[in-house]
Structure 1
Amino acid sequence: MASRFVDRAVIQVAAGNGGNGCSSVHREKFKPLGGPDGGNGGNGGDVLLVVDRNVHTLLDFHFRPHASAGNGRQGQGSHRAGAAGETLELKVPAGTVVMTEAGEVLADLTTPGTTFVAAEGGRGGLGNAALASRARKAPGFALLGDPGEARSLVLELRSVADVGLVGFPSAGKSSLISVLSAAKPKIADYPFTTLVPNLGVVTAGDTVFTMADVPGLIPGASEGKGLGLDFLRHIERCAVLVHVVDCATFEPGRDPVSDVDALETELARYTPGLGGELADRPRVVVLNKIDVPDAAELAELVRPEFEKRGLPVFEISTATRQGLRELTYALGAIVDKFRAEQPAPESERIVLRPRAIDDSGFSVEADPEELGGFIVRGARPERWIRQTDFGNDEAVGYLADRLNRLGVEEELARMGAERGCPVTIGGVTFDWQPSTPGTIQHLSGRGTDIRLEDRSRVSAAERKEARRIRRDGVPEADEDQ
């Protein structure tokens, strides 16, 4: 079966979840309470995209679009930490562009060995040994593991070639790349013989460059007609574009000048996502098949028109190899000039982004759907919510202490929050019960919290009545009178 070329794939990646921490107390003969010894959970594995020089297509992702890394293992007693989840490495070809489904470019992977974290593994939860403190000597709870990142990514392969051959179907692009390099593309005398881009390595003296032919373009290619829209992206990185023109065509209404004009129109309509506009790239016109007498006469006729536009013109024949040496060295000189004009690659630098002094790490805003309610947003408080076991009162009390230390309660009070008003963090809604300043820690039994045993909290019916009074301004008793 013939190999398939895939240059675009949509994949679903899911990193591993972090393992839960362990809540355990050391037990030994004659030592009934030896202190907490629950280990931490292991971190979830990452999903990595790694550029591999032996991979040339995205075909594997076409058949297997879902990829998941390993989950972290749960911590155990005797201070045994859970094993970290296995990292998953996905090999991609050089020239792969990673984007979101909305089209935002996340990474441009062009160098073999380059690694991109496609999905980050979840953080493992702390065991009760790590949560012990002077005020909480034997915590009866542990933190849950953080879920791994999961998202949908679009992979596009954009060939890394120095010279791009463009032209109408059957213009001779595949024949040209076959005689200039060791590439062996399929060659036939019918349109759209080439269904995938072909790459070849060409040597011109001391210069070595790569050449790619793009499957035949036709008018309307930039709008999806023919094969052009799928493969135009493969010429975005090219240093020079070569118009291969068939001077021996017998199709009515076609001539070399109109062919080049039609292709330039399609290139102008196609706006690449990388590398700037294609209009900035040097152009070369190659008049092919001059071994045919009528084609040679036509080439001589149209040559002045292209030269008047400032375009270098070469008359060649891939059948007799006439003019190929001059073309090869001319392309090598253009590629050398392009490479010399490129800025020197910068050495890798470590970038430190310290948090701003006035950055509290969270924000509080009024809830648009709940009268008198508030929403707390921020990476840290939302992560703490995911790590909390709400079936354990002591864990809930520990969450309240963390939020208090972060300044959430102070900000809620400043925003006008009242006791019992709904506060939403990370999709979980609480009835706000402010703590007394200076009394964050409370001694109670393991797995319990004395603050949650307080039955004097405002009931749901009382909160509903308070909201109705704030809205209407009239108590229900007065309405009955």
Structure 2
Amino acid sequence: MSRFVDRAVIHVAAGNGGNGCASVHREKFKPLGGPDGGNGGNGGDVLLVVDPNVHTLLDFHFRPHARASNGKHGQGSNRAGAVGEPLELKVPDGTVVLSKDGEVLADLVGPGTTFVAAKGGRGGLGNAALASKARKAPGFALLGEEGEAHDLVLELRSVADVGLVGFPSAGKSSLISVLSAAKPKIADYPFTTLVPNLGVVTAGETSFTMADVPGLIPGASEGKGLGLDFLRHIDRCAVLVHVVDCATYEPGRDPISDVDALEDELANYTPSLGDELAKRPRVVVLNKMDVPEAAELAELVRPDLEERGLRVFEVSTATHQGLRELTFALGELVAEHRASQPPQQPKRIVLRPAAVNDTGFTVETDPEDPDAFIVRGERPERWIAQTNFDNDEAVGYLADRLARLGVEEALAKAGAKPGSAVTIAGVTFDWEPSTPAGVAMQLGGRGTDVRLDQSARVSAAERKRARQLRRDGVPEDDADDLTDSDDLASDEGSS
């Protein structure tokens, strides 16, 4: 027997973007035919899609982790990497998506409604796409971005027009079983109904859905009993029906006190829904009229309930007394609610251009070091993630992009001095304002940048020289000494 699950915590991760390729076209008589590295493919998204054939969050209860596929890396000969396949997760109608902090991110109502739970990372550009007049043969490519990863909470809130509320064993399941084709479990003990039951009811030309939710007890708004597991399923109901057991033998129970207790719990259910629930129409159903004592009690309490403006119906699910009148009354209220709703408008594409004075980044003083600075912004942080810091030319390209964006000018206005520590996306640099935008670049070899000659990183030529010495049997320490002496000799020769 399948289980009903109306709340689940899932961990979604989108696919990473593929890295771009740094390649040079080579063929006979054309040893350097120009850059031809392809772009990396984008990572796949994680999508939540409403499927009318799904009625529970059971699958996410047992498989809470979901990850989309990564994009493939770019290749030479201008071959772009394959795009990662998106991962579609099917959810039932009425699913609410919340962050781990409780913020509502999406309310998925209607078949086909889609929400991007995690966006896939963008693929990095290959060196063919990075070529320009100033840099005709880039010796680097951009790295792919990591996909988003989130922890989300899914809550199922039943999509029903009429909600049946009442104490345990008040006869809600029996009522929905005779008004619709639903076949809920019915027994003579409390909390027989542990999961919501939905049924379709037809009243003339009006059809509506009815929800039989678990029984309510005092303190449910504070989590007692089934508590909030019950209350979340009445959020979308247009009409609330109080089902009252007029044949109960429990001491201290009577129809008036039951209605008061139910209204008190509804009023205490979350401040954001208290006013909305109070405005929704109410109907009181005095159930079990086939019992003589219940019929006598109904005659006594009916005037008091009608004085409160409540419509009262005396019914019996055993003899079907009063069910026809109740059905058409509910159909009338549902039709009035639907007519009062504004017509649905087609979705419009909303464009929000950036403000004229929006630079896209901010410069802040590091709270841990008053002489250091932190740069925040979508583009600078994305560029940091795309940069291969083992390639001097890629680092120089990053410096040019930041300078064109205006980061260096903003740092100077903020009081930064040469040598100040600047952190972007967790990477800390020693700021040297030597790469202003518009200054002609002095290009070096592929993968190098003349502005980084003072870098402490070992160059490709040095690594090649060290490998050759090791092949010749020179010990590693001696190889380092010989490499240093060769560098020193070359420096003296150039001077």
Work out the CA distance in 1 between the residues paired with 2:385 and 2:428: 13
Aligned-partner residue type, residue 238 of structure 2: A
Which consecutive residues of structure 2, in runs of 5 or more, have no partner in the other structure? 457-495
CA contact (8 A) 1:216 1:228 kept: no
SS in 1 for 2:359: coil
Structure 1 residue 436, shift from structure 2 partner: 5.2
1:451 matched residue in structure 2: 451
Deviation string 1:273-292 (CA, Å, 9 cap, x unpaired) is 56962111111000000101
CA contact (8 A) 1:183 1:199 kept: yes
Deviation string 1:340-395 (CA, Å, 9 cap, x unpaired) is 11111122111011111111111111111123111111000000000000000110
Deviation string 1:92-140 (CA, Å, 9 cap, x unpaired) is 0110011111111111111101111000000000000101111111111
Structure 1 residue 194, shift from structure 2 partner: 0.3
1:388 matched residue in structure 2: 387
Work out the CA distance in 2 between the residues paired with 1:138 and 1:97: 51
Matched, 1:143 2:150: no
Work out the CA distance in 2 between the residues paired with 1:221 and 1:135: 70
Moved more, 273-282 or 216-225: 273-282
Structure 1 residue 443, shift from structure 2 partner: 0.8
1:172 matched residue in structure 2: 171
1:371 matched residue in structure 2: 370
Deviation string 1:441-470 (CA, Å, 9 cap, x unpaired) is 2211100110110379xxxxxxxxxxxxxx
SS in 1 for 2:403: helix
Aligned-partner residue type, residue 133 of structure 1: S
Aligned-partner residue type, residue 135 of structure 1: A
Which consecutive residues of structure 1, in runs of 5 or more, have no partner in the other structure? 457-481
1:295 matched residue in structure 2: 294
CA contact (8 A) 2:15 2:45 kept: yes
1:185 matched residue in structure 2: 184
Deviation string 1:182-209 (CA, Å, 9 cap, x unpaired) is 0000000000000000000000000000
1:462 matched residue in structure 2: none
After superposition, the Cα gap between the structure-2 partners of 1:384 and 1:229, relative to the gap in structure 1 and judged at 3 Å, is same
After superposition, the Cα gap between the structure-2 partners of 1:102 and 1:87, relative to the gap in structure 1 and judged at 3 Å, is same
- Using the size of structure 2 for normalisation, the TM-score is 0.90
Matched, 1:84 2:83: yes
CA contact (8 A) 1:237 1:275 kept: no
SS in 1 for 2:201: strand
SS in 2 for 1:277: helix
Aligned-partner residue type, residue 448 of structure 2: T
Deviation string 1:40-98 (CA, Å, 9 cap, x unpaired) is 00000000000000000111111111100010000000000000011000000110011
Aligned-partner residue type, residue 188 of structure 1: A
Deviation string 1:328-351 (CA, Å, 9 cap, x unpaired) is 000000001111111111221110
CA contact (8 A) 1:233 1:272 kept: no
Structure 1 residue 271, shift from structure 2 partner: 2.1
Work out the CA distance in 1 between the residues paired with 2:373 and 2:167: 62
Work out the CA distance in 2 between the residues paired with 1:136 and 1:64: 49
How do 1:304-319 and structure 2 match up within 5 A? 304-319=303-318
SS in 2 for 1:259: helix
CA contact (8 A) 2:37 2:79 kept: yes
2:412 matched residue in structure 1: 413
Matched, 1:260 2:245: no
CA contact (8 A) 2:95 2:108 kept: yes
- Using the size of structure 1 for normalisation, the TM-score is 0.93
Work out the CA distance in 1 between the residues paired with 2:299 and 2:256: 12
After superposition, the Cα gap between the structure-2 partners of 1:161 and 1:440, relative to the gap in structure 1 and judged at 3 Å, is farther
SS in 2 for 1:203: strand
Work out the CA distance in 2 between the residues paired with 1:256 and 1:274: 25
Aligned-partner residue type, residue 72 of structure 1: G
CA contact (8 A) 1:12 1:150 kept: yes
How do 1:197-236 and structure 2 match up within 5 A? 197-236=196-235
CA contact (8 A) 1:215 1:228 kept: no
CA contact (8 A) 1:236 1:275 kept: no
Aligned-partner residue type, residue 449 of structure 2: D
Aligned-partner residue type, residue 445 of structure 1: G
Work out the CA distance in 1 between the residues paired with 2:57 and 2:296: 45
Aligned-partner residue type, residue 444 of structure 1: G
CA RMSD of aligned residues (A): 1.2
How do 1:3-402 and structure 2 match up within 5 A? 3-271=2-270, 277-402=276-401
Work out the CA distance in 1 between the residues paired with 2:365 and 2:169: 65
Aligned-partner residue type, residue 454 of structure 2: D
